Every structure is written in C-alpha cells, then in structure tokens.
Chain A
C-alpha cells in the first residue's frame, strides 16, 4: 500500500509544478502595466526613467523564465512580494483573510456531505412517487444560483423574521446562512451522485445474492455497498470543495464574510497582480491537497487493494 501511496504522490509532482507555471504565467503575461496604472490612479504622470526604475525595483524588466524561477524560489518560502495596492506583504493579506474562508469552506463541505447523504439515501429508500419528487427537488436546487439563494435567504431570515444578522462579527451563528447557501446546491448535486452510485451497485449480482440470502436492506447498504462506494464518494466530495471555494467568493461578497473572496474581488478591480497570483496558488494548493487526501482514502479503503496488500 505504501508503494501505491508513493506512486500517487510522485505522480502529483508534475501537476504541482505545472500549476505554479500556470499561476505565474497568467498574471505575468497580463496586458497593461500594473506600475503605470497604479501611478496613473495616484494621479502621477510618470517619466520613462521613473517607470524603468520602478520596474527594476519590482523585477518586472527581466525575461519570463528568470522571473518564474525567481518567483518560485521566493514562493517556496511563502514570500509572494508586496501588494501593489496596499503596500503590505501579500502573505500578510492572505493569512489575514484565509481563516474565514477556510472555516466557511470546511463547514460547507460538511454541510454538503450531510445533505448529499440524506437526499441520496432517502431517494434510494423511498417509493416511486417520493423518489421522483426528490429527483425534481434536486434538479431545482442545483439550478438555483447561489447569489440569488443568498439574497432570498437574507430577505426571509434577516428582514422578514429577523432571526439572523447581516453584518456579523464572524461568530458561528453568522456562519449558518452562508453555509446553507453554499452547501444546498452542491449537496443536492452530490445527493444525486450518492443515489446513482448506490443504484448502480444495486444492479450488481452480489446485491442480488445478498437479497436472495435474506440479508436486510440496511445491512446490505452498510456492509456490502458502502465499502464499494465510499472511495468514489470521497473523491466526489473533495472535488466539490473546488466548487465551494469558488462559491465562497460569491457568498462572502453577499454576507460580508471577511474572507479571501473580498480580497480577490478588490485585487481584480485594482489589478493587484501579486495578490491574484498568491490567491490562485493558495486555492489551487488547498484544492490539490484535499484531492490528494481523497485519493489516499480511496487507496486505503479499496478492499481489493487492501487484500492484495495483506497477501504480500
């Protein structure tokens, strides 16, 4: 099993390297000179010498490969330079906003898992009418844009009932509405995956045998089907984290949750390239690491691999 884990991790390295190249290339090949724009925004008309001096100061005058290697060597030490807009270090800005986004995304991931299991198992266990109702509900939930859902939840729970606050202080209570907004859609989408996985397994011969032997449905689900689907489901759930991290930008913007989403939206409007770059790297890395963890779970839980391992 260790061998499989090592192979999986080694095969991840080129992807990781490729990700850093992409993250660097996107921003450094950007049209428009950030220094000139920043100076313009401050109302200064720069001379050519000033521009060149500033470019040299930020290292923007060197060729692409050199700048990439230079950036990488600093990035591995978590040095992403300074924000062009605020003048603070990028890592400072990121670490200031990161905990809020992390809390939101992880809570939403648990919400997603909970909702998907509930909907999926309910759909499997229910009769034809309930199942088709659940299917319709799923399609509708998947189709509602999160920004609209958020505004409607705010209208109902903040303005109509007054049960929640809009401008919170970052306590757990303020997390409820954002998490519901984020996890309803992806929970419904993954509920379908849960349902289809279980249904696909129920078409297999081993389930037929178990039914014929008189094993109870709950036991078939827990003992026979669960080990076979938990790996793929773990992959699906962690993949959903990517969507949740993206959706967090929208939800944070609506609920005023002080996370990375606020930072990146500001950075885009100010063309604050170092921030955009670091944000892309961190989100990519976070998503990448969770996918890796999911794959490891798959390897560990795969009964066939485990059996092979114990025979070795």
Chain B
C-alpha cells in the first residue's frame, strides 16, 4: 500500500518534471483548465443573464457593473463570454468526437485489412479530401440550412477523411512491429490485435492529432458562426459575438477583443498541448555544424 502511494507520488513528480521542461505544454494545459474552470464558475457566481438586454446601456465600456462592458443590445459581454464556453468549445469537442467516430474505425479497418478494401476506403476518403475542407463544409451547410447543428455536421463531414488517413498511417506503422506480427502468427484475432497491440501504440500520437485537430475544428466552427451560417443569434458563441460586433467595433473595442481573444486562447491552448506532446514523443536530434 505504502509502496503504491510512493509510486503514485513518483509519477506525479515525473509529470511535474515534464511540465517544467516543456513550458509550452504547461501553458496549454493551464489555458484549457482555466476555460474549464470559468465555464463551471456560474455554479458559484451569479452572472447577469447573458441574453438580458439593457438598451439604455448600449455599447458601454468596461465598468464596475459590466466588467467587460456591454454589446450593441446592452447585453453583458462577460456573461456572454462565459455562457459561450460550453457552446463554442462544446461544439468543437462534439464535432471532434463525431470525426473520430468515423475516422478511427475507418483508419483501423483500412490499415489492418489492407489490400483492396484499403484501396477503396482510402479512395473514398480522397474524393472528399479533394475538396477544400471549409468549402465542403459550406456546401453541406448550404444543403441543410444554416444552424449550429448543420455547421457541426458540415465540419465533421469535411474533416474526417484527413483524420482517417492519419490514423491509417499510424496503424500501418504500428502493425509492422515484430510483436504485432508475432501475435498474428500466434493466431490472435483482428480484434485482439487492434485492442491489445495496435491501440496502445497509436494512442500517444493519436492524442497529438486529437488536440491539434480540435483546434482547427474550433477555428472552422467559429469562422462559420462568424459568417452567420453557424450558431445563430442570440446564442452566445464567440464567432457569432464577433459577427454581431462588426458594425460597432470602432465604437466599442471590447466587443472585438473579448470574443476574439477567447477563440485565440482556446485554439492556442489546444495547439500548445498538441505541440508539447508531439515534442515529447519525437526526440530525434539533428547534426550540428
């Protein structure tokens, strides 16, 4: 028992060592935790209702009453920013889950079975990848009608093929390892090989992919909301808030800064975590002059 807790302490200590060495990764983790914490803060603090309009206090700069000021309808920017976290980040995470739900089985099956199945599955992915991603998403939204749901589906439909390709590449590298071949020769089933031997190998690089791809999905979804074809007003969403700020941002700079910084920081956090993890996984050093 004592031994176990000592081991646990040791791994915690190692984790801290890693964070100390990789400052980007720790900044990224800090940013993401900060967002998670702020999005939970309405449980402890009462904010002004995010859709409550106060037309007498339109476009007012930051003050004691409205810490981050108000927007063109006199709504509190701070509470809209907080209320937008679960919408913006939640939509991105949900879209990423949809993408993985398609791409993971797709890449695994294509990579493991190989041959003609692989060729056909990858050709299908290539066909969708032949379209510029955001434009493919735009077309799907055009076909479904503008809404947050449509933009999630559009982004997922456009983003899964590249993820499936990356996962397939990981699987191909993983399945050539000696112990995987040995397991196959020993008569292990496809499922056993996938879950016992392939998944543990591809999980670390997959974490990097998930982190970086969630960042790009978040950018895409907020861009679509900004264009007015994603989340619809009055839903608090960072892209949509910026879209609403467009006619007024010369008079009320805070309307431009708050949602823009929110998107940038969230994307930055995800990118830093992805980059940091990749840096830890990739240790090759170049020859120096």
A-to-B contact residues, CB < 8 Å: 14-16, 18-19, 22-23, 26-27, 29-32, 135-136, 139-140, 142-148, 151-152, 155, 159, 199-200, 202-203, 207-208, 211, 217, 241-243, 245-247, 249-250, 253-254, 264-265, 267-269, 271, 273, 276-277, 279-280, 283-284, 287-288, 291
With A27-B139, A211-B289 as given contacts, are A271 and B249 in contact (CB-CB < 8 Å)? no
- Across-interface contacts of A23 in B (CB, < 8 A): 131, 139
C-alpha gap A200/B138 in the complex (Å): 37
In the complex, B250 has a CB within 8 A of chain A = yes
C-alpha gap A140/B250 in the complex (Å): 24
With A139-B272, A140-B268, A249-B134 as given contacts, are A22 and B227 in contact (CB-CB < 8 Å)? no
With A143-B215, A151-B242 as given contacts, are A203 and B284 in contact (CB-CB < 8 Å)? yes
Binds A, one of B122-130, B163-171, B186-194: B122-130
C-alpha gap A277/B142 in the complex (Å): 9
> Which label, helix, strand, loop or mixed, suits the secondary structure of the B interface?
helix
B138–A264 touching, CB < 8 Å = yes
C-alpha gap A243/B285 in the complex (Å): 31
B219–A145 touching, CB < 8 Å = yes
A249–B289 touching, CB < 8 Å = no
In the complex, B81 has a CB within 8 A of chain A = no
B-to-A contact residues, CB < 8 Å: 24, 123-124, 126-128, 130-136, 138-146, 215, 219, 222-223, 226-229, 239, 242, 246, 249-250, 253, 256, 259-260, 263-265, 267-268, 271-272, 275, 284-287, 289
> Which label, helix, strand, loop or mixed, suits the secondary structure of the A interface?
helix
What 10 additional pairs, Cβ within 8 angstroms, besides A143-B264, A243-B134, A276-B139?
A145-B223, A145-B226, A152-B256, A202-B287, A207-B287, A217-B289, A242-B131, A249-B134, A269-B229, A276-B143
- Identify the closest chain B residue to A247 (Cβ): B134
With A145-B263, A202-B287 as given contacts, are A284 and B132 in contact (CB-CB < 8 Å)? yes
With A30-B143, A139-B272, A217-B289 as given contacts, are A249 and B138 in contact (CB-CB < 8 Å)? yes
B24–A245 touching, CB < 8 Å = no
- Across-interface contacts of B136 in A (CB, < 8 A): 280
A245–B249 touching, CB < 8 Å = no
A146 CB to nearest chain B CB (Å): 7
- Identify the closest chain B residue to A185 (Cβ): B219
